[in-house]
Chain A
Amino acid sequence: MKNFLKIFFLTTLIFGYSLNSFSAEKVEYLKTDWSFKGLFGKFDRGALQRGYQVYTEVCSSCHSMKYVSYRNLAEKGGPEFTEAQVKAIAASFEVKDGPNADGEMFTRPGKLSDKFVMPYENVKAAQAANGGAYPPDMSVLVKARGGGVDYIYSLLQGYEDPPAGFTLDDGVYYNKYMYGNKIKMSNQLSDGLVEYADGTNATVEQMSKDVTTFLMWTAEPHLEARHKMGFKAIVYLIILTILVYFSMKRIWSRIETEV
C-alpha cells in the first residue's frame, strides 16, 4: 500500500511537471516569493490593491477582465477595498445599459453588480486597434499560461534588445521569456510609472509583482478559502482514517483468533 502511494505520487509528479512545463520554453523564469503559494498561502492585501491600481492605470486600456465584477474587489479573500471605495470605483466607469423606453442603448455609471468594463467592444475591435494582435483577457490569464505567475512576472521584466541577427517586424518586440521571443506588446512598465496610493516605491519589479499577484487573485478569487478548507478536510480525513484503521484492526482480530 505504501509502495503504491509512493509510485502514484512519483508518477503524478513526473507527469504533472512534464506536462506543465511543456507549453513554455526551457528558460528559467525570474523567481520571487509569492505570498499565496504553499499550503497556508494567503494574498498580500496591499499587493492586491497596488496590483489593481497597476491594472487599471496601465493594462486596462487594452486588456479586458470581463469575468471579474466590481463587487469582487470588496469581497473577502481579495483586495478587500471597502464597499464605499468599490462603489466609487464602479461609478467611475461608464457601463452600457438598455434599451430604454425609447428602445435605445445608453450609458450609466457602473454599479457593484457590473462586470469590469471592457476597453473594446469585442475581440475584432481589440485586434484592429492593436496591429492584429488581440490583447488577451486577463481574468484567468495566470491559469492560461503554463508558466503561471512566474511567467507573467518574468515577461513584464523580460524586454531587452534582441540578440545580433534577430530580425523583428514593425510592431514586434523582443522578450526573453515570451514563447518564441516575439511579442506584439511593447514594454509597458517603467520605474515610477504609477504613483502608488500607499506610497510604495513603484519600481518595474514592484509593479510586476503587484500586478501579477492581482492577476493570481482574479484567476483564483477563492484561493484562500480553498486552502483553508483543504487544511480542514485533510486533517479531518487523517483523523477519520486513523479511527477506521483501528476499527478495522479490531474487527479483523476476530478471525485471527478462530481456527
Chain B
Amino acid sequence: MSDQEYTPKSKFGKWFNDRLPLLSLASHLTDYPTPKNLNYWWTFGGILTFCLITQIVTGLTLAMHYIAHADMAFESVEHIMRDVNYGWLIRYIHANGASMFFLAVYIHIFRSLFYGSYKSPREIIWILGIIIYLLMMAAAFMGYVLPWGQMSFWGATVITNLFSAIPLVGEGIVTWLWGGYSVDNPTLTRFFTLHYLIPFLILGLVVLHIWALHVPGNNNPVGIDIKKPSKDTVPFHPYIVIKDGFALLMFMIVFAFFVFYTPNILGHADNYIEADPLVTPAHIVPEWYLLPFYAILRSVPDKLLGVVAMLSAILILAALPWLDTSKIRSAVFRPLYKQFYWILVADVLILGYVGAMPAEGLYLLIARVATAYYFLHFLVILPVLGLKERTLPVPISITEPVLGGSLNLATAKNKESFNNK
C-alpha cells in the first residue's frame, strides 16, 4: 500500500491523527484507487456490508423484547409482532434481511467464480470469505431456531443429530451441543447467545477481508493487473461510493417489496406452529439458502458420508485457488470455462430445488447426479480446463487506446505474464 502522506487540515485533527491514524485511514479509503471498469456485480460487497449492519441493528432491537426460553420464545415473538412499536416491521426486516443477505452473498461468490477473483494474489481474501460464509450459515441456522416453531425445533434436531455420525465421539458431541438428551431449553438459550455473538465475529472478519483486499486492490471484469493509481482507476469516493449507493437502492427496493408485501413467502408455514417434540412435520426443510447443501446431504445414503459430502462441498471452495489451474483470471477470456460456469450455476439451482422436495424417486436421482457433478466441476473439470483450454487474448490495459471507451483488444498473447502477478 503506497499511500501519500496525509496531513489533517485542523490542529486537533493532526494531534488526534498522530495518536490514532483514523483520519489517514479515512483518506486512504476515500482515495483508494479502484478500477474504473467495475460492473454492477462488484457492488455486492457494499450491499453485503449494508445487510450485515441491518441484521445487527434489527437483531439488537429484537433482542430487547425476545425471550430465549422454550416456554416463552414463540409468545415473545408474537408480542413483538403485535405490541412492540414497529415490532412487526423490525421482525420482518430481520427475517427477510437474512434471505437478502444470502442472496447478496451468493451473487458476490458467483462474481468471484466468474472473474477469477479468488486467484493469486487474492487467496486469503477468498478464504476469509469462505469462513465468513460458514459463520453466516451458522448464525442463520441458529437464528431460525429462536422463534421455536415446528421448523425451528425439528430443523435443529435434524442438523444437530448429524454430529452423531462422527465415529466414537459423535453421540457425546450431540449431547454436549444439546445440553440435554434432546433439543430443549438449554439448546435454545445457548443458540441465542451464539446467534448474538457470531455477527460481531463476522464484522471482524469483514474488516480483515477488506484489509486483505486493499493490498492488491480490486480485481476487475477483464481480470488483468492494473497500475494504481492510473488512467485505469478512479478514486473510491465519489465514483464507487455513488455507484454502490445506486446499486444498494435498487437492492433495497427488492428488499422492501418482500418486507412490506410478501413477508412470509420465503419462510415456511410450519414455523407458525409452536414447537411440539411429539409431532414431526411431514417435510422438514431448511430455509431456501441452505437447500443446496441439504440436497447434497440427503443424496448420500450413508449418514457419515452424507455429512462429509455436505461439509466437503463448502470446504472444497477454500481449495479453489489451487484447483483452478488457469493462468487467465476472467471468464470473459475463457470461453470454455464460461460454459462450465453457467452449468455450475444451473447445477446449484437444481440442487436447491431438489433440496426442497422429498428425498425420494426422481428427486433423489437428480440430487445425486447434481451432487456428483458439483464435485466433478471442482475436482476434475477446473484443473483440466486450466491446462487445456484455449483462452482469448487478454488486453494490456483497461483504457488504452480509449477511442469510444471500448475494450482494447490489442493482442497480448506474449504478455500473459501480466496476469500472473
Contacts and interface: CB of A to CB of B under 8 A. Distances in A.
**Direct A–B contact in complex, judged by CB atoms less than 8 Å apart:** yes
Interface of A: 1, 4-5, 8-9, 11-12, 15-16, 18-20, 22-23, 39, 67-69, 72, 136-137, 139-140, 143-146, 148, 179, 219, 221-222, 226-227, 229-231, 233-234, 237-238, 240-241, 244-245, 247-248, 251-252, 255-256, 258-259
Question: Nearest 8 pairs between A and B by C-beta?
Answer: A230-B260, A144-B272, A241-B249, A16-B265, A143-B272, A67-B78, A248-B242, A146-B269
B356 interface: yes
Given A19-B356, A227-B260, A227-B261, A256 B405 contact: yes
A246 B266 CA distance: 33
Nearest to B81: A222
A251 B268 contact: no
A252 B254 contact: no
Interface string B235-268: 0001100110111011011101101111111101
B234 interface: yes
A67 B82 contact: yes
A222 B75 CA distance: 17
A54 B246 CA distance: 50
Contacts, number: 122
Interface stretch (B47-55, B190-198, B205-213, B282-290): B282-290
A105 B257 CA distance: 48
Nearest to B248: A244
A1 B40 contact: yes
Contact of A222 (B88, B107, B264, B265): B88
Size class of the B contact interface (CB-based, 8 Å): 35 or more
Contacts of B257: 230, 234
A239 B43 CA distance: 20
A19 B272 contact: no
B402 interface: yes
A68 B262 CA distance: 22
A230 B263 CA distance: 11
A41 B239 CA distance: 41
A217 to B, nearest CB: 11
Interface of B: 36, 40, 75, 78, 81-82, 88-89, 92, 103, 107, 231, 234, 238-239, 242-243, 245-247, 249-250, 252-254, 256-257, 259-266, 268-270, 272-274, 282-283, 285, 288, 349, 352-353, 356-357, 399, 402, 405
B356 A18 contact: yes
Contacts of B262: 16
Contact of A15 (B75, B78, B288, B399): B288
A246 B419 CA distance: 36
Contact of B250 (A5, A179, A247, A259): A5
A121 to B, nearest CB: 15
Nearest to B40: A1
Given A67-B78, A226-B88, A233-B256, A244 B272 contact: no
Contact of B252 (A68, A145, A237, A259): A237
Contact of A229 (B82, B89, B282): B89
B250 A8 contact: no
Given A226-B263, A244-B245, 17 more contacts: A1-B40, A9-B254, A15-B356, A18-B356, A19-B288, A23-B268, A23-B269, A136-B273, A219-B272, A222-B82, A226-B260, A229-B89, A241-B250, A241-B253, A244-B242, A244-B249, A252-B243
Contacts of B238: 251
